[in-house]
Amino acid sequence: DAKTTQPPSMDCAEGRAANLPCNHSTISGNEYVYWYRQIHSQGPQYIIHGLKNNETNEMASLIITEDRKSSTLILPHATLRDTAVYYCIVNTGKLIFGQGTTLQVKP
């Protein structure tokens, strides 16, 4: 079973920041948090991952709380092409996908 909890859906206005929360209260000390997204029925696309420090790359930022029990994925300037299902996953040695958050970016 997935070790994460995410809201089922969110809306975001185009050009604004999208903040996607994730709870992973049972995460262990050496387990990484990964974020993927799936656009339509394409293969999942890697976004970012982290252990305990905040991370940033060209796609997004990942903010992990100090107790590591939750994290937030930030898409700084959402576009219509960011509409997708976003999955927050704790890597326990294999990636187990939950239901994810369906992000709808609106014009």
Identified binder of another protein from the candidate list 52, 98, 102, 104, rule CB under 8 A: 98
Tokens of 97: 């996908």
**27 contacts: CB under 8 Å, gap ≥ 6:** 3, 33, 68, 69, 90
Q: Is residue 43 part of the contact set for another protein (CB under 8 A)?
A: yes
CB 81 within 8 A of CB 89: no
Rank residues 20 and 34 by Cβ distance to another protein and give the closer one. 34
Rank residues 61 and 91 by Cβ distance to another protein and give the closer one. 91
Identified binder of another protein from the candidate list 100, 101, 103, 105, rule CB under 8 A: 100
